[in-house]
Structure 1
Amino acid sequence: MGDRLDAIQIDEAQLALIDLEDPLLGLPLLDEGTIVALVLMIGAPKVSELLQLLLDEGASCCRRLHDIDDPVDIKALAHGLKGAAGNMGARALMAAARVLERDAFDRLRRPYLVDLVARVYDRTALAGRLRLAALAEEATPVGA
């Protein structure tokens, strides 16, 4: 998994991004309390795996949302993204996906909401990559 981190260098300013609120929704990109609780319950390696899965699946979902026009399919994709985001504490992404799921049949709002989900995903992905790097660093023994 280390190669997926693209050799991200982390400093305190970047780590602060993890706790930032999404500017559009006013919700955390990644809720640190959720991440810490998951690490305590299932361990950092599994949390890293699940977070990477959210990032991979989220990117795929955003591409598919732009490619389809069927509101039933859009609603289903938004529902899945909402659940995955919620499980990992990606609260802003969960909220954006919830609104898209709710309004998938609204032809006027749907394009805006698909774009909103994609924009929130992009910021969540940045925070997620930074958090992945921090988890990898936390798991590395001192002096290794």
Structure 2
Amino acid sequence: MDPFTITDSNPFAQLLGIELIEAEEGYAEARLPFRDELSSNPHTEIAHGGVTYALADHVGGMAIVSAAEEICPTVDMRIDYLAPARSDLQAIATVVRNGGQVATVDIDVHDGDDTHVATARGVYKVGRSSTDSTDESPWSKGHDERE
């Protein structure tokens, strides 16, 4: 599984404008250029919290995909918003633990002024094999597992 191929073919990531910068060995980095449509306030540039959350979730998922080499759906995500995001967003994710059934990933999100705007911890489902019956899950459809 190639995290770059997944990102490039993910309709929601493309809608938001998420750009995967790096993804290897349980680490991923992505950016999201800010634009007016992502604002939560019509009078000032502040990214909607859902945009920050979506970026954190996506980059966390790509970090674990880079380690597990399989689609890993989100089980749970906890996010703390630390400051308003007023410009382009950048997120860094690191796999903390890759267990037999779930993986834990820590994510930090900064804006273009290097303001730490959010910190998150995601839990992702891992451990499905290509012979497992869950291979027909909606998350694996359309992704060639031999990439």
Settle same-fold status: TM greater than 0.5: no
- Identify which of structures 1 and 2 has the higher relative contact order when contacts are C-alpha pairs closer than 8 Å and 6+ apart: 1
Q: TM-score, normalised by structure 2?
A: 0.25
Query: Could you say which structure has the higher strand fraction?
Result: 2
